[in-house]
Structure formats: C-alpha cells, structure tokens
Amino acid sequence: MSHTTPWRNFHVTVTLAYMLRASDDDLSELLSDRETGHSVSPAEAKALATELQARGFTYLPVCDNAGADGRCQGHDIEA
C-alpha cells in the first residue's frame, strides 16, 4: 500500500485568496523572478488573481501542467 508518488515532481504554488490578502511587500517577494529579473507589481498581481478566480481557479497556475483548479498536477522525473 502506497500513497506517495516518489518519482513525480510538483511545483509549489499559492492560493489566489492568499495573493488577494497579502501585503504589497509579500507580493513583491513572492512574484519576483530571480531568473529573468522580471517582476510583477502588486497591483498587477492582484488584478491577475481576481481574473483567475473569476475563471474558476483556486491556485495560481505556475507551470504548463496545472489542473482545472490551477494547482500543479505533477511531472514525471526523467531518469
């Protein structure tokens, strides 16, 4: 009996409700992209979260394998 999936990788995300109540400082920290240097302003982030909630998402979709609620469905790890 196993309820774990050791060979799948899941992206961590946050709920849209969290984004909508987070402070501007928290959002800046959350959304700054250290790889590209691109960052989204807190106002843009809240507008995006509102739009995604209206489309039925619960979580912020952060990858190309997000489910209907926006949460990562997991990725097979290449051996």
Q: Which residues bind Zn ion (CB under 5 A)?
A: 11, 63, 65, 72
User: Cα 39 from chain centroid?
Assistant: 14
- Angle, helices 42-54 vs 24-31, to 10°: value is 80
**5 versus 65: smaller Cβ distance to Zn ion:** 65
In the bound state with Zn ion, the residue whose beta carbon lies nearer, of 42 and 70, is 70
How far apart are CB 72 and Zn ion at their closest, in Å? 3
CB of 12: closest distance to Zn ion in angstroms?
9
Pairing type for strands 75-76 and 8-9 reads antiparallel
The answer to whether 72 touches 65, Cβ cutoff 8 Å, is yes
- Smallest gap from Cβ 63 to Zn ion, in A, equals 3
